[in-house]
Structure 1
Amino acid sequence: MPAVVVLGAQWGDEGKGKATDQLASRTDFVVKFNGGNNAGHTVVIDGEKYALHLLPSGILSPGVVPVIGNGVVIDLEVLFVEIDALIARGVDPSRLLVSSAAHVIAPYNRTIDKVTERFLGKRKIGTTGRGIGPTYADKINRIGIRIQDLFDEKILRQKIEGALEQKNHLLVKVYNRRAITVDETIDELLTNAERLKPMVADTPLVLNRGLDEGKTVVFEAGQATMLDVDHGTYPFVTSSSATAGGACTGSGVGPTRIDRVVGVAKAYTTRVGEGPFPTELLDATGEWLRKTGGEYGTTTGRPRRTGWFDAVVTRYAGRVNGLTDLVVTKLDTLTGLEKIPVAVAYDVNGVRHDEMPLDQSDFHHAKPIYEEFDGWTEDISLCRSFDDLPVNAQRYVLALEDISGTRVSSIGVGPGREATIIRHDLLA
């Protein structure tokens, strides 16, 4: 039975939640391995929309064990607000496991995230202000708070004292904010500790034993390849590893156990926040894509920037992740367009680049070189096989497959769980 990584092949919001949800009915574990509550996923089941911010998509499938891995940073208040909202809608979250080694977002991390972003002004990154980046910075600086620390108040107090000794100088002397006390931080972090305790587990042990027993594990990435802290459009990136390697470090499962790496890409491209975006459309067509595709953030509600499909980006994602399969989502959004451009290369100062430019400056100045494909007018939302699609829609998908260099195994033709065309079984 396979271990499958599902990740974003663009700048996020590609529909990873739906892709994971579709696999979950035949999966034993679904693991979120990176990010925090800055990585919302939307899943539609029988017309009901579920917006997940911190929980793995597998939480919606009976019998699946959803796991929050050690690579995730957790806002405990957000976690339980989300859990309670699902309980109110009849979803049972009792199977959830949380890694004891995952880091906790402390209140001072949220404060620093917001004031730092404002302080940057025009140089802002475009963070969600939820404390994600500062929490990962604390992790790397070895002053972070982990889930396991919540159950030893003496150690928790020592760690918070050490962290605030530094951070209060920054808040008061640089940002002109009030100092944060140790007691208020402890009070907030311990509010949900007892309720959390039964969920805490040695998740690497659980997952590896599951694989030993022949069970199926799906690893669900937050954000996407082009937002990866190492391989994305730095510094306009997230603070975690959103690529396939992050599935291993963020879950405690070794790379030799991964059977398949699935990249999810929209039939066009979107991104949020700041940073370069070669195919971005700043005209009426871009606004049409935004409205037709409902391109507004699941977590923030921010309007997404829109543009045409970028095959250079998708080829790059294929290379750094070792993609075995591609899931193309929102093909139905393109219905009605007479012509559909696809960026097949870039022009950088008169030089053609078929692959990602070497440095960020060149990428910032890259102008897309387009190839146009004929569109279609037929409603494709009820298509359930590749042959059901209009000929031009089939040609478009095959062209994306060819120029991206990765086989297209699944095609989304609507928001619902059932609105999908399967060409290759991702769990076979």
Structure 2
Amino acid sequence: MKILVTGKGGREHALITALSESPQKHELYAYPGSDAIASLATCVSAAGLPELIQWMKDNAVDLCVAGEEAWLVKDRGLANLCAEAGLPCWGPYKEAAQLEASKVFAKLFLQRHGIPTADFTVAKTAEEAKAALTEFPIVLKFDGLAAGKGVAVCPNREEAEAFIEDVLSKRVFGAGDLLIEKCLTGPEISIFVSVCDDQYQILMPARDYKRIRDNDEGPNTGGMGAVASRQLAPAELLARIEEEMVKPTVAGLQKDGLKYRGFLYFGIMLTPTGPQMLEYNCRFGDPEAEAVMPMVRGDFANYVFEAAKGSLKPELIEFAEGWSICLISASAGYPASSRSGDVISGLENVIDARVYHCGTRKNAEGQFETNGGRVLAVVAQGTTRQEARDKAYAESKKVTFDGLQRRSDIATLHFD
């Protein structure tokens, strides 16, 4: 089977690794891929989505797997174009991918289908937004895609108005409205679901850490680490999430005529009064994918292939017991900026963990160097959370580069 994965980061490196470890050996391709991914898959060049679709047709690709979110809503949509070409795609149609591409679309969907979520208002101008600041802390969300950085939890008016200016006056994320949302409290949990039309399967839960510094301080990032384990969600909690959130979402997609085949991420806050939906992502999370994918057992490639064709077969995969811990090493200046070109040392010394490349490239000497904000994910497993955590930190310390940023409290904060 020929499989192409769209994307170039750590999530895609993890997905391609899992596909490569399926029982049968498949021909793997990545668009655009990276120097690290090139060791597992052939990287494809294409001017845009139409050209990529033509390339897949010309090369008899059997399956397209959507990694990053942007391609799902770009042009006429990756899955839409694949369908027109008769190519199975594991990723939702553009219309359904608005659940991630538009925060306002998602909130209206949640409201329409009775799924628990925080109260909200929508502002089109800075003046409207500032007038809606009636309590603090307050959550502000840019309506469109912003690589995980378009959300701010503001403790006071000063910070809120500064974010409003960035979004609605300076337009740092581009055109789009601002969602103003009541601030919920409690630990967060990420629930991943394979959705295939009216069928679904709940996968291994995870938790990620968004802020750049320890104790969840500093600005939001794309994610500085993640924890994955079945033990994150007791059976009764998972049953409640399924009943109040997963089932109504799948039914709502069907009712609204939104075609969905792909991974669906439920970002959930566990409030004192029960779970509340924060957001949807229409693909696997990052860095949660790096934590979850090493726990997959079975035939992941055929699982995705069959689901993309319309038949969800949960029996094809299972998840290992224990814990998986992902630690992100970020570049100097991240998340406000990122520095590239710092040589990475020690990769060859990592022997008891996986390394997924989020933002690296090879220099003229063949050495890996930094090439993005989040640079590497080092991921280790263990029977207990402490065992996995100790292993992940021990292996991460072997890898260094100038300006490296790494949190020291992943898998302890929100547990102890």
Scaled by the length of structure 2, the TM-score of the pair is 0.30
- Larger relative helix fraction: 1
- Larger relative strand fraction: 2
> Structure with the greater relative contact order (CA < 8 A, sep ≥ 6): 1 or 2?
1
